[in-house]
Structure 1
Amino acid sequence: MKILIIDDEEMALKDLMSILQQVIPYSEIYPCHSYQEALTIIKTTSIDIAFLDIEIGEKNGIVLAKEMKDLQTDIHIIFVTAYAKYAMDAFAVHANGYLLKPVQKEDIQRELTFAYQVIAHTRIRVQTFGGFEIFVDGKPLIFKRSKAKELLAYLVDRRGIGVTTRQACSILWEDEPYDVKLKNYYQVILMELRNTLKKAGIEDIIRRHRNFIAIDPNKIDCDYYRFIEGDAWAINTYRRDYMICYSWAEFSMGVLDEQIDNMNDQKNDGEEGVCLKKIIL
């Protein structure tokens, strides 16, 4: 893991570097004292996590974070500052963490544990923001039929709630009459989905009963589910782009958008902190 530290105070820089070397001894750490030095490193090195002070001489760490995000969109930004008043500004630039000085070893361990969970791919990862994809061991799952993929996307959207044959048909073919022909075609799509999952060795993510099927939410790591639980990383990666290729996802996206708007209203009202509560959909 490659870690960048930016702080114009030499003692603070050394203290943070010392903690990082204890917590994650095999990482590559790039300490720097200035705004420009940090940008130079970002332009030449792929950084996983950056620990930024907010006041860097006459420069502003919030602005630097935005420039770093523009250069490396997947970089994890964690602010380390003596000032709580910048928390909302940090959230606005999609920071992944916000620590107050003096930073303790336990604080760094917590942030790095979270970053590992995000950076290191899990066995089954489902992406719903920016389009729908499912990754198995870091590789995208390929579907022969687009409707099989859409069926899986709908099951993910339902979050473990069972879907009957009639419900699934009304979603996948909203303008088609529900008849024997359609039900038979649905069984073909369902079989295709099961075969695709079985080939990847993940068929157990689907629970099937006599009259319905459902996703097992505990078997997948999903950005949508993380958002619902108030996960800061998931909230910061959302761009009002939930399942954008499926019209039936508009309701869920509306709920997510409303939550983002509420957070922005809190910022505009001058609140210094953000309370992330579980969203009930």
Structure 2
Amino acid sequence: MTIKMKTIIIDDEPLSRDELKYLLQSYIDVEIIAEADSGEKGLEMIMTKEPDIAFIDIEMPQISGLDLARAIQNMKKTPLIIFATAYPNYAAKAFRVDAVDYLLKPFDEAQLLETMKRVKERLNREEKTDQVSPIGRLAVEDEGRIVYVSPTEIIYLYREERETIICTKDRKFSLKTPIKELEEKLKGYPFFRTHKSYLVNLDKIEELIPWFNGAYQLKVEGKEDEIPVSRNYVRSLRERLEL
């Protein structure tokens, strides 16, 4: 039996909704459970029907697609978001609200196929992550005391000489544990190795900046430091960020 991915379409243009519904009919594992012609109705449907996937137009009156995406970020069950828009200049903002992909109108069947592959990979990855029992807190030493740090508070950590530095919004902690061992402990949380000496919380990334020779740098929430992304990790990072 095929497990259906519950899907809703939120777009104020009826023709666009109809086109997308027609294209999605060829996917046997997609079930369109609802559609909405405004951001307000879309928000209500996401809250009541709890879909797996939401195709959302960006340019809508009153509540835009981006505003809708931000509004649902803290929900217990957040659908995977695919923006569907005629405007290509919103891509960077779409990335910041963790959109899986960014479809341009008129819809291209090949592009939609790639999008649905990403959706399935993301859902499979999240299912595996849910099966991991993550640690509750990390115990670190701070001026002779033991302090417990929640992994969700960690923005990034890095290795410096023989110590690992853990960076939260307001504090830095150092410990002797190798970064590889911490990476294992943090499984079940969205951490990614961007460099042999850096491990970054994907939820805290704000910008991915091209650097040189195929390398990148990251800007993260609340920090001025730019974190290196070596060429060996760029492709995997872009896949994790669904770029």
Deviation at 1:35, TM superposition (A): 1.4
Structure 2 gap ranges (5+): 140-156, 158-174, 182-186, 206-216, 225-229, 235-243
Residue 96 (structure 1) aligns with: 100
Q: TM-score scaled to structure 1, two decimals?
A: 0.48
Letter in 2 for 1:239: K
CA contact (8 A) 2:82 2:102 kept: yes
- Structure 2 residue corresponding to 1:35, chosen from 36, 39, 64: 39
Q: Which has the higher contact order (CA 8 A, sep 6+)?
A: 1
The structure with the largest strand share of the pair is 2
**Taking structure 1 as reference, are residues 172 and 74 closer, same or farther at Cα in structure 2, changes over 3 Å only?**
same
3-state secondary structure, aligned to 1:40: helix
Residue 58 (structure 2) aligns with: 54
CA contact (8 A) 1:51 1:80 kept: yes
Residue 131 (structure 2) aligns with: 139
**Taking structure 1 as reference, are residues 221 and 36 closer, same or farther at Cα in structure 2, changes over 3 Å only?**
closer
**Taking structure 1 as reference, are residues 25 and 139 closer, same or farther at Cα in structure 2, changes over 3 Å only?**
closer
Confirm or deny that 1:45 pairs with 2:52: no
Number of aligned residues: 171
Deviation at 1:47, TM superposition (A): 1.6
Deviation at 1:261, TM superposition (A): 4.5
Rg larger in 1 or in 2? 1
3-state secondary structure, aligned to 1:259: strand
Letter in 2 for 1:96: V
Mapping 1:82-161, distance limit 5 Å: 82-121=86-125, 125=128, 138-140=130-132
Work out the CA distance in 2 between the residues paired with 1:236 and 1:111.
24
CA contact (8 A) 1:4 1:30 kept: yes
For residues 39-62 of structure 1, what are the alpha-carbon distances to aligned partners after superposition, in whole Å with 9 as ceiling and x for unaligned? 111111212111111111343111
**Taking structure 1 as reference, are residues 13 and 116 closer, same or farther at Cα in structure 2, changes over 3 Å only?**
same
CA contact (8 A) 2:11 2:60 kept: yes
Mapping 1:148-187, distance limit 5 Å: 171-172=176-177
Letter in 2 for 1:63: D
CA contact (8 A) 2:50 2:77 kept: no
Work out the CA distance in 1 between the residues paired with 2:16 and 2:43.
20
Deviation at 1:73, TM superposition (A): 5.5
Residue 16 (structure 1) aligns with: 20
Work out the CA distance in 1 between the residues paired with 2:232 and 2:80.
23
Deviation at 1:63, TM superposition (A): 0.5
Deviation at 1:239, TM superposition (A): 2.4
Moved segments of 4+, more than 6 Å: none
Letter in 2 for 1:81: T
- Structure 1 residue corresponding to 2:218, chosen from 253, 259, 265: 259
Work out the CA distance in 1 between the residues paired with 2:190 and 2:61.
37
The structure with the largest helix share of the pair is 1
For residues 155-174 of structure 1, what are the alpha-carbon distances to aligned partners after superposition, in whole Å with 9 as ceiling and x for unaligned? xx9xxxxxxxxxxxx9449x
RMSD: 4.3
For residues 12-47 of structure 1, what are the alpha-carbon distances to aligned partners after superposition, in whole Å with 9 as ceiling and x for unaligned? 100001111212455243211111111111111212
Q: TM-score scaled to structure 2, two decimals?
A: 0.55
CA contact (8 A) 1:52 1:78 kept: yes
For residues 210-254 of structure 1, what are the alpha-carbon distances to aligned partners after superposition, in whole Å with 9 as ceiling and x for unaligned? xxx99xxxxx999545x749xxxxx994226xxxxxxxxxxxxxx
Letter in 1 for 2:132: P
CA contact (8 A) 1:78 1:99 kept: yes
**Taking structure 1 as reference, are residues 45 and 80 closer, same or farther at Cα in structure 2, changes over 3 Å only?**
same
